[in-house]
Amino acid sequence: MAKNEASIPKGTRDFLPGEMVKRNYIFKTIRTVFERFGYLPIETPAMEQASTLTGKYGEEGDRLLFRILNSGNYLADVSDDEILERNVNKLKTSLSDKGLRYDLTVPFARFVVQHLNEITFPFKRYQIQPVWRADKPQKGRYREFFQCDVDVIGSNSLLNEVEQIQIIDEIFKNLGIRIIIRINDRRILFGIAEVIGEADKIIPITIAIDKHDKIGAHKVNEEMAVKGISEKAIRELQPILGLTGSVEEKLNKLENKILLRSRIGRKGVDKMKRLFDYLKTLDLEVNPVFDLTLARGLDYYTGTIIEANSIEMKIGSLCGGGRYDDLTGIFGLNDVSGVGVSFGADRIYDVMEKKDKFPEDITSTTTLMFVNFGEKEEIHCLSLLAEIRKSEIRAELFPDKVKIKKQMNYANQKNVEYVALVGEDEMKNGLITLKNMKTGDQELITLEELIEKLS
């Protein structure tokens, strides 16, 4: 087996023309909605300084960073002792000071700080680029995948959250994907941790709560116990996890009973109440739900958190995001809050492909192909082609004089709509034989008639 003669790293993919047409349809749909809400595009490099990336995504995230090896003799400055220690994590900084971006949000925060005097706040940008994670690939999980991020930075207004929920709603409506949108506020989770006396264990608690739907209360409690959360705290958590009722009822219970002693928790509740008040007035395709068990693992979220999932296919989230208050602070710019969401183009593709959501008419291919009959005919066809292309018709001439059968087969494989045959007879009469590849019908017409027909 010639396995390594032609291959790509695991978790990466090639995209064939047929797939690219569909991918571009997704990107175009997303970009159109982003721009309709006043967001403008930026791009950042594939690689960032390692210091920009590390420490932003939690322990798990750091482990999944792709690092780029330094150039030159990077071991020259490393002492023998350090090498003999064989501690990769310690050596990393000597071996590598760059990494591939893990998401688009952290590079964006870096971008904002770096270009402070070139941008105006609130700054609304969108960014559609690949990101890389050294994860184990599986269904809906790739090592290289495209994120479509839309963020606004430098505004505390809740309108931004409202707007981004509208964007999510609009995009999935346009793509024809049925979703559920879940919303929560990290401050509520923090408040809960606070009132049960485990404020410092906020992260393991939220992660455990997040699994509530998947693995059930019993296992969640087990996991929290393993993580060192006291029995008393776990007991106090139970009525909170079992909260029932409408959004208002849940939020009221949280505000008036559970989070009485947590200022920050009540602040989160207040935000949620106001957010849902706004949302009620909108005519959304999908009504977002308040989900106390939504936690999200990324470290940098501090307020609202949002996630969208397919309801037709079991795959990871299609879209996720939230508000981050301190992200630019890490790069030296304090008190600038941002909120943004990220769409996973590859998972959206997977859902659309599986559920047959792509419109029929998006395939773009050559409209007209000239059969190659030889040198004299080639020159004649080239001038015809120039005229035809002026009318914005996609046209090509088969480059080799091979059997017509082979040329027709090429046109057929490529789904070319029409084939033009111009041989000796046609040249003499100044006509073109035009064949419709779908019906098989043929007609002898002039160049003008052909252009008229295909425009």
Binding site for RNA (CB under 7 A): 1, 3, 9-11, 58, 60-61, 103, 133, 135-142, 145, 147, 207, 210-211, 214-215, 295-298, 307, 314, 316-320, 342-344, 346-347, 403-406, 408-409, 411-413, 419, 421, 423-426, 433, 435, 437-440, 442
Residue 16 CB contacts under 8 Å (≥ 6 apart), including other chains: none
- The distance of closest approach from Cβ of residue 269 to RNA in the complex, given in angstroms and rounded to an integer, is 23
Question: Rounded to the nearest 5°, which phi and psi values hold at 339?
Answer: -145, 140
Name the residue nearer to RNA (CB basis): 196 or 421. 421
Q: Is 245 left (phi over 0), alpha (psi -120 to 50) or beta?
A: left
Nearest to 181 by CA among 33, 284, 110: 284
CB of 303 closer than 8 Å to CB of 281 = no
Strand order in the sheet with 395-397: 395-397, 368-370, 418-421, 432-436, 442-445
Beta bridge partners of 181: 308
Please, what is the Cα angle at 185 between 31 and 119, to 5 degrees?
A: 45
d(CA 235, CA 196): 9
- What's the min distance (Å) between Cβ of 452 and RNA? 20
Q: Which is nearer to RNA, 126 or 258 (CB)?
A: 126
| Least distance CB 79 / RNA (angstroms) | 26
Task: Output the smallest distance, CB 377 to RNA, in A.
Answer: 9
- Nearest distance from C-beta of residue 223 to RNA, angstroms: 8
**DSSP annotation string for 167-223:** HHHHHHHHHT--EEEEEEEHHHHHHHHHHTT-GGGHHHHHHHHHTHHHHHHHHHHHH
Minimum Å gap between C-beta 135 and RNA is 5
Nearer to RNA, 254 or 420 (CB): 420
Mapped onto helix, strand or coil, the DSSP state of residue 257 is: helix
Tokens of 297: 């693992």
* Nearest residue to 147 via CA among 385, 341, 359: 341
- Whichever of 381 and 421 has its CB closer to RNA, that residue is 421
To the nearest whole angstrom, how small is the minimum distance from the Cβ of residue 102 to RNA? 9
For RNA, the closer of residues 166 and 252 by Cβ is 166
DSSP 69: P
Q: Select 160 or 310, whichever has its Cβ closest to RNA.
A: 310
Let me know: does 39 contact 149? Beta carbons within 8 Å: no
Alpha-carbon distances, residue 453 vs 133, 155, 372, 388 (angstroms): 50, 54, 22, 11
Q: Smaller CB distance to RNA: residue 122 or 297? A: 297
Q: Please, what is the minimum distance in Å from the beta carbon of residue 206 to RNA?
A: 9
Of 119 and 225, the one with the shorter C-beta distance to RNA is 225
Residues 50-56: contacts with CB under 8 Å, at least 24 apart: 50/92, 50/93, 50/96, 50/97, 50/98, 50/99, 51/97, 52/106, 52/107, 52/110, 52/331, 53/99, 53/101, 53/102, 53/106, 54/99, 56/102, 56/106, 56/299, 56/300, 56/327, 56/330
102 vs 290, beta carbon nearer RNA: 102
* Shortest Cβ 112–RNA spacing (Å): 18
Task: State the Cα angle at 325 between 324 and 328, rounded to 5°.
Answer: 95
Report strand pairing: 395-397 vs 368-370.
Answer: parallel
Q: Which is nearer to RNA, 12 or 252 (CB)?
A: 12
CB of 422 to RNA, least distance (A): 7
d(CA 164, CA 132): 24
* 116 vs 447 by CB, closer to RNA: 447
- Token pair 């971008």 in the structure block, residue: 111
**Minimal distance in Å, beta carbon 232 to RNA?**
23
Q: At what angle do helices 186-195 and 231-241 cross, to 10 degrees?
A: 140
Question: In angstroms, what is the minimal distance from the CB of 325 to RNA?
Answer: 17
Looking at the Cβ atoms of 363 and 442, the one nearer to RNA is 442
